[in-house]
Amino acid sequence: MPNIVVGENGKIKESYLAENVTLKKGEKNSLLRKGGTSLVIHEGADDGKSQPAGDAGDRLACGVISK
């Protein structure tokens, strides 16, 4: 997913389509996997190199992806 930029008021409303993944259980690229999957939002931009967090700073929010 791309980096997002949040305004000074701390709010954002965006939609993104992740074309390389699916929520169909059993598919090779499914986000519904044994052990779980999560989405984490960090305070800074991902450098596209460092793993696993992309040198993006502290975690600000996260969510569980589940059925």
All domains in the chain, ordered by first residue: 1-67 (2.60.40.200)
Tokens, residue 40:
């984490």
18, 1 in Cβ contact below 8 A? yes
The pTM (predicted TM-score) of the whole model is 0.66
Q: Tell me the helices (H) and strands (E) count for the chain, helix number first.
A: 0, 2
Provide the pLDDT for residue 67: 86
Residue-wise pLDDT tens digits, 10-67: 888 889 898 999 999 999 999 998 888 998 888 888 888 887 767 888 888 899 999 8
Amino acid 50: pLDDT: 82
Q: What are the angstrom distances between the C-alpha of 17 and each of 14, 40, 49?
A: 10, 16, 22
pLDDT at 12: 87
> In sequence order, what are the residues at sequence separation of 6 or more whose Cβ sits closer than 8 angstroms to the Cβ of residue 63?
38, 39
